[in-house]
Structures are given as structure tokens and as C-alpha cells.
Amino acid sequence: MTRTVVHLLRHGEVYNPNGILYGRLPGFRLSGAGQQQAKLVAEHLNERDITHVVASPLERAQQTARPLADSHQLEVAVDDRLIESSNKFEGLKVSVGDGALRSPRHWPKLYNPLRPSWGEAYLHIAHRMLGAVHRARVAAAGHEAVCVSHQLPIWTVRRFLEGRRMWHDPRRRQCSLASLTSLVFQDEELVRIAYSEPVGRTDPRVTGA
């Protein structure tokens, strides 16, 4: 049987001084700390048998992927299915106590938290992410691949693969900055999911992280 590992790497910290939900907006790049996180996770994976690196098209994911790809002398491939989820609150502050969630004009967006009604459906996120995972698995068959993505897509596909419900409390996501959610396959069968935090734990509630 062929053993292949696909690591889902969340990007590093982003420079976001206004604390908005930036989603898919352009121009949001890694902060100084985020660049250091990208280097540290590349060092952490330096001795691993990585033969394929692929990232979301967003800048912060591309920046996170680059040190890792360079250390293994690889190019960074792009898969649009690894992109951040769409969100109707994009560009607004949505932390507890901020105006976006207190304003009645935004309440219609909140009518169905199970889907969720304010953005891309959880099931759609899980399916597109799973497609990207299996493409990476095939590309790195018998070795290891790294897919650089974002917190919600990574957490959603993990819950899907573990057979858990899609809707959840965002405060309880286990997907810190520059963390690794590692999917171990024997041929096409997923046999194990592991999680690690090479640069330490971060608060999942921090907007803009």
C-alpha cells in the first residue's frame, strides 16, 4: 500500500491594523510575525519528504508557502479550491461588541447559522477542500504534500472527515496560525488525522488572524 501525507497548513499572522474581516479582499499580507511563522514552519518541515506544495491564491497563503517550497526546491502550485470562504461581512468589524453585528440591517444575514446564511455553505467548503486534498495526494503519491489554506476551510474539512456536524462555535476551532492538520492516507483511504502547532497556539477568535 502507498502511504501519502497531505498537510493542511494555515497561513501565518496577517497585518490587519483595523481588525476587519478581510476574507478574500486583496492586499492583506503577512505581518512581520507572520513572515517569521512561515519561516519557522518551513524549518519544522525541513526534513520531511515533501514533494508538492500548493496554496490558496490569496497573498497571505502564497507568502506562507514560499519559504517551505524554497527549502525543498519546489514551485508553489495554486489551487483556487483552497481559498478562504466567502462572507457577507467582508470588510467589516465583526468582533463581539462591534457595530456590524449590532446593526439591525445586518440581522437578516444571520437567520440560519447552520448553513451559514452569511457566507459560503459549510458543505460546499468541505467538498471543494476535499477535492484539493485528493489532487495533492495524487501529486505527492508515496510522499508528502502541503496545502496552504485558511482557518475556516481547514477546520470545516476536518470536521467533515471526522464525521462531525458542519456548524460549530468559531471560538473552539483547533486551527492556530501556521498550524498543521495532517491527513495520512493508505492509497486512497484516510487512516489518521493529526494536528500540531509548530509555532505555538493562537486565539481562534482574533479577527484578522
In this structure, are residues 180 and 7 in contact, taking their beta carbons and an 8 Å threshold? yes
Residue 199 has pLDDT above 80, yes or no: yes
The strand pair at 189-196 and 180-186 is best described as antiparallel
pLDDT (tens digit per residue) in 59-76: 999 999 999 999 999 999
Instruction: Provide the 10 A C-beta neighbour count for residue 31.
Output: 18
* pLDDT, mean over the chain: 92
Per-residue 3-state assignment (H helix, E strand, C coil) for 172-189: HCCCCCCCEEEEEEECCE
pTM: 0.93
- Mean pLDDT across 172-185: 96
What is the b/e burial string over 170-201, where b = at least 16 CB atoms within 10 angstroms of the residue's CB? eeebebbbbbbbbbbbeeeebeeeeeebbbee
- The stretches of the chain forming alpha helices (DSSP H) are 32-44, 59-71, 99-102, 122-139, 151-161
| pLDDT attached to residue 98 | 61
> Does the pLDDT at position 156 exceed 60?
yes
The SS3 call for residue 112 is coil
Q: How far apart are CA 95 and CA 134, in angstroms?
A: 34
> What are 2-34's pLDDT values in tens digits?
999 999 999 999 999 888 889 999 999 999 999
% of the chain surpassing 70 pLDDT = 94
Tell me the pLDDT band of 99, cut-offs 50, 70 and 90. Answer: low
Least confident of 54-58, 156-160, 199-203: 199-203
pLDDT value for 132: 98
Average pLDDT over residues 43-52: 97
Q: What is the mean pLDDT of residues 192-208?
A: 85
Answer with the residue of higher pLDDT: 203 or 46: 46
Instruction: Look at residue 146 in the predicted model and tell me its pLDDT.
Output: 98
